[in-house]
Amino acid sequence: MAVVVTADVPGQTREGYEETIRLLGEALREAPGFLMHFGYPVEGGWRVVEVWESAKDAAQWFARHVRPNLPPSLAPRFRRDRSAGRQDPRGARVLRPRSPIPGAGGDAVSQGPRWEISCEYFENCSCDVVCPCEVSPLGPLQARPDQGHCNVYLAFHLDRGRYGSVDLAGLNVVLAIHIPGPMGEGNWTVAAYLDARASTEQQQALGAIFSGSAGGPLAALAPLVGTNLGAKAVPIEYHNQGRKRAARIEGILEAVVAAVPGANPEEDLVKRNAHPLFPEVFQASGVVSRYTDHGLEWNNVGKNADYAAFRWTGP
């Protein structure tokens, strides 16, 4: 089963990272068990996210190839650093195996048009507050969900965005995901919903970005998907209501999340360096939460929720 390995490298520079990729990139592509490498700058250094078929494969690669080529001053920290790190996706780099993963797009992830989106989003999962998939002694994506499995939907609203020459401003996307165990073990089932207002070109662009096939942060999670239920073009409502977020797809989704109270009621409760996709999210919980489609049905009222604003670019 696939595992996700996240490492922060304090003091690493763009030049140092590029030199490491120059030395090791081709060998990494051929490494047994390698599925995905995603690297980008964060405050004070560099973050690397890799997906491997097993923890043993990842550990052997690091011991044999990475550690001997790192200067003594650089010491990677594996899922232990809790300091805030601001993601800069403009510096992101994605590597895939030389033999492409079926359905993952192979090296085409680095050959598509340039794109960028400025978004807000929220999610509501079936875990208690706070979700152990984000915060646990094992690190992100490693702990077993509170219910043994995770049912989660993520709703996105694009304030601004372009995929090549295609304008994406104002469109909405929803992803519904069932995960049978710890997130890092994979075998995810994913259904996508694309804004019915979008043209054919816009829907294709949204599909490329939110499947991870166009690169960007979601590309690092794509190998964890075992079952793709496809995409539907449907009317999607999205609302920002201050400390609440809401989304609706008639007959499929009714969702409202609200910020949880903090010690200071005037300030939002914030999680930093916890979510694999966003450097900072606001802690919330489900107020209205009904999803029904593809034979899946769940209600996450009172369960963990997050919301955030972010900017992604790719490939």
Averages of pLDDT over each 10 residues, the chain, 315 residues: 73 84 84 79 79 80 80 64 35 46 38 88 94 82 89 97 96 96 88 94 92 83 85 95 95 96 85 82 95 95 95 86
Is the CB of residue 36 less than 8 Å from the CB of residue 109?
Answer: no
For position 66, what pLDDT does the model report?
81
For position 163, what pLDDT does the model report?
95
State the Cα–Cα distance between residues 8 and 159, nearest whole angstrom.
Answer: 30
Q: What is the token pair recorded at 151?
A: 């049912």
Model's pTM, two decimal places?
0.68
For position 142, what pLDDT does the model report?
80
- Which secondary structure element, helix H or strand E, spans residue 61, and what is its range? helix 55-61
Among 146, 140, 141, 142, which residue's Cα sits nearest to residue 126? 146
Distances from the Cα of 111 to the Cαs of 38, 104, 214, 247, 281, in angstroms?
A: 16, 14, 8, 33, 31
